[in-house]
Amino acid sequence: MASNKPFILAVDDDPQVLAAITRDLRQEFGKDYRILRVGSGPEALTTLQELRVKEESLALIVADQRMPDLEGVELLTASRDLFPDAKRVLLTAYADTEAAIRAINSARLDHYLMKPWDPPEQLLFPTLHDLLNAWQAAHKPRYGGLRLIGFQWSPLSHELKDFLSGYMVGYQWLDFETQPEAQELLKASGYNSTDLPLVICADGTAVPNPTKASLAQHLGINSKATQEMYDVVVVGAGPSGLAAAVYGASEGLKTLIIERQTPGGQAGTSSRIENYLGFPTGLSGAELTHRAWTQAVRLGAEFLAPQEVSQLCVQDGYKVLTLSDGSEISTRAVVLTTGVSYRTLDVPGMDRLSGAGVYYGAARTEARSCDAQDVYIVGGGNSAGQAAMYLATYARRVFIVIRGADLAASMSAYLIEQIRSTPNIELLPFSQVKEVCGQDHLEAVMVDINGTVEKRPARALFVFIGAKPSTEWVNDQIFCDGKGFLLTGRDLLADSRFAATWKKQREPFLLETCVPGIFAAGDSRAGAMARVASAVGEGSMAIKFVHQYLDE
């Protein structure tokens, strides 16, 4: 695109000379560069400042020496503060040769050219080609995508990083406290530190202190339903929800899937899933999620995100979903794939430092900030093991804190073997985190190791201590077990409440809840197996039962 071309700036107060140099530059370099012309030194400085604010690339400045108000050497010297890497060429008359030679050292000029330069093929173009080739070799193009400026230890900055990563949106993270580029960019955008975090979109639009909903709007992620009625609405975009969306859409059902956070659920944060059928070298949860999401959309499923369902009711056989923004969606059937969330660690300091060094789940976006530091993982399941392997790539040491003697009871054998063979991962058995310490971010953890409490420095703490189902919003209508997991199929027959509420002549389908036409699949369903392949299978099966229900 033309707008991505770097600039060449020509400066001369003589209109005829300026027209000639501009003509020659455009003739030879116009294909690869944008040529600017200005008629004075002060005007040139203003132009340079505007280019800097817009973060444009400047490859070359060609300036005449004898100009009123600001001579060429003075202009080229001043330009170093704005574009230190640009090449600088001085146009001189024969009488100014000695001054030009001295300026090569004093002003760090790259070259000087005598006027006139006819023929340009011999006296102008070869020199400029050499200078531009040298500039191109050293030039690092400006990042052209979305940028996020914030504070490393800001919980909101962490949320936005996870949100962008969850939707596979490429972005550049700039820490305001440690990167001068972030400070310059914030100033150039007309904002200050109170507006952080600040998102700067690829088109230059700046969004201060964005919510996930407002950021989704700028990214073009749909948060409003386009239809008044659907055949099936899937609540939750984890592996089971995505599978349900794929099969529902592919089989001709008008399908909507609603996700309150980011697609993929807990599986989406896994750095590598190595036991999923058909991927012998493994794949990341983000990659699996992106493939499934793309597949569902291609087949005709509609997505709403980030959007949360706050209420579910049945009216004349139809299911009405009320969203957190107050809008309502009607559907003939519902598949609940709400998944689970990690249980919180109830020790002093956790609430205060959550998102500022303390994270629930993998938090892959924070891995690079742990470079050459010690990090701690609480939990011994597969998610904890996958996180440990990923973090070990960056951290100096990774400590896995577990209450039991070893990992055999809760982690797959292949992960245990990988952890054993990774020298910078250390298992702390018979241990518990008793407290997390720090002012505005995590600095240390208090760990009880087999009865002895130690205070250990820590860059980050990642918590994986079991899961609770995300069913609070619906458990007043859908029967759950004692832990909040949704009861389905024949499990309902053992519930004393079931006979008084079930009005169908048939038994509930295998994945059907106590409300006909409302199904459950994945980790939030009672009796489900916590495996990605199982979740995908249940999501696919749920659509089969949706068809059977709709055909009644």
* Whether residues 235 and 334 fall in one domain: yes
Q: What is the mean pLDDT of residues 338-366?
A: 91
In one-letter notation, the amino acid at residue 417 is: E
Residue owning tokens 């600088």: 88
Q: Which residues of 239-255 are buried (b: 16+ CB within 10 A; e: fewer)?
A: bbbbbbbbbbbbeebbb
* Whether residues 185 and 203 fall in one domain: yes
Residue 509 lies in a domain: no
* Three-class secondary structure of residue 47 per DSSP: helix
Q: Count structural domains, the chain.
A: 4
Give the model confidence (pLDDT) of 467-504 as tens digits: 899 999 998 899 999 999 999 999 999 998 998 899 89
- What percentage of the chain carries pLDDT values higher than 90? 70
How many residues belong to the chain? 552
Residues with Cβ < 8 Å from 274, sequence gap 6 or more?
281, 282, 414, 415
Give the model confidence (pLDDT) of 246-266 as tens digits: 999 999 999 999 999 999 988
Residue 406 lies in a domain: yes
Cα(241)–Cα(542) distance, integer angstroms: 10
* Whether residues 456 and 525 fall in one domain: no
Tell me whether residue 76 is exposed, middle or buried, using C-beta atoms within 10 angstroms of its C-beta: 0 to 12, 13 to 18, 19 or more. Answer: buried
- Which of 193, 219, 245 is the last residue before a domain boundary? 219
* Whether residues 421 and 454 fall in one domain: yes
Mean pLDDT over the full length of the chain: 92
- Which of 172, 201, 219 is the last residue before a domain boundary? 219
Residue 246 lies in a domain: yes
pTM equals 0.77
Give the model confidence (pLDDT) of 150-190 as tens digits: 999 999 999 999 999 888 888 999 999 999 889 988 988 88
Q: Which residues of 129-153 are buried (b: 16+ CB within 10 A; e: fewer)?
A: eebbeebeeeeeeeeeebbbbbbbb
Q: Is the peptide bond before 84 cis (omega within 30 degrees of 0)?
A: no
Q: What is the mean pLDDT of residues 434-458?
A: 96
* Whether residues 188 and 251 fall in one domain: no
Inform me whether the pLDDT recorded for 1 exceeds 60: no
Quick one: pLDDT band at residue 106, thresholds 50, 70, 90?
low
Greatest Cα pair distance, the chain, in angstroms, is: 106
Residue 21 lies in a domain: yes
Inform me whether the pLDDT recorded for 301 exceeds 90: yes
* Whether residues 16 and 123 fall in one domain: yes
* Whether residues 124 and 33 fall in one domain: yes
Residues with Cβ < 8 Å from 44, sequence gap 6 or more?
9, 11, 38, 61, 63, 70, 75, 79
**Residue 297 in tokens:** 């959309």
* Whether residues 7 and 133 fall in one domain: yes
Residue 51 lies in a domain: yes
* Whether residues 13 and 123 fall in one domain: yes
Q: Which of 71-85, 97-111, 182-196, 298-312 has the lowest mean pLDDT?
A: 97-111
Residue 485 lies in a domain: no
* Whether residues 113 and 31 fall in one domain: yes
Residue 508 lies in a domain: no
What is the CATH classification number for the domain harbouring 198?
Answer: 3.40.30.10
Chain center to CA of 4: 24
- Which of 189, 219, 249 is the last residue before a domain boundary? 219
CB 86 within 8 A of CB 130: no
* Whether residues 60 and 167 fall in one domain: no
Q: Which of 416, 379, 423, 374 is nearest to 401 (CA)?
A: 379
CB 11 within 8 A of CB 72: yes
What is the CATH classification number for the domain harbouring 317?
Answer: 3.50.50.60
Residue 483 lies in a domain: no
What is the CATH classification number for the domain harbouring 12?
Answer: 3.40.50.2300
Q: Domain range holding 538?
A: 229-340+469-476+490-501+514-550
Relative orientation angle of helices 155-166 and 285-299, to the nearest 10 degrees: 60
* Whether residues 200 and 104 fall in one domain: no
Quick one: pLDDT band at residue 434, thresholds 50, 70, 90?
very high
